[in-house]
Amino acid sequence: MYQYIVAVTEPAFFILTALVGGPRHGYGIVGEVAELSRGRVQLKIGTLYGVLDRLVGDGLVELDREEAERGRLRRYYRLTGAGRHELSAEAERQAANSRIATDRLRMFQPAKAETA
């Protein structure tokens, strides 16, 4: 069984997933996460960079490059091999947990209310 490096929060899960497609800058990550989650996860910039700092510190994401665009510095981040491995393990864990809950819900169906 795989030993997790870090606990993967929902924002971290979606940031890692967004980076599977290649390097992205902060606003690109925000947009990709919104699209992947069908609008359910809306990252605020403070949350994004807090999570990115943690993911970089944990070796799951690294700085790919920096580019100046219209006088502003854009940092592009990419997924590391460890990040890909961690995301894969987390996706498997979530799928297994979902199957457990679904099976349990089927097993314990509420009794149908009797009609008078």
The answer as to whether 58 is a domain residue is yes
The answer as to whether 94 is a domain residue is yes
The answer as to whether 1 is a domain residue is no
Please count the other Cβ atoms lying within 10 Å of the Cβ belonging to residue 51: 21
Its pTM stands at 0.84
| Kind of pairing between the strands at 61-69 and 72-79 | antiparallel
Number of domains, the chain: 1
- Go through the chain and tell me how many residues it has: 116
Query: What CA–CA distance (Å, rounded) separates 34 from 42?
Result: 6
CATH number where 46 lies: 1.10.10.10
> What pLDDT is attached to residue 1?
47
| Spatial CB neighbours of 68, under 8 Å, sequence gap ≥ 6 | 74
Nearest to 45 by CA among 68, 29, 62: 29
Cα 3 to Cα 47, 89, 92, 110, distances in angstroms: 26, 9, 13, 37
Q: Which residues span the domain enclosing 46?
A: 10-105
Q: Per-residue confidence of the chain (116 residues) as pLDDT tens digits?
A: 445 556 789 999 999 999 999 999 999 999 999 999 999 999 999 999 999 999 999 999 999 999 998 888 999 999 999 999 999 999 999 999 999 999 999 999 887 766 66
The answer as to whether 115 is a domain residue is no
Fill in the DSSP letter of residue 24: E
The answer as to whether 42 is a domain residue is yes
In the block, residue with structure tokens 């393990």? 89
Do 74 and 66 meet the contact criterion of CB atoms below 8 Å apart?
Answer: yes
The answer as to whether 5 is a domain residue is no
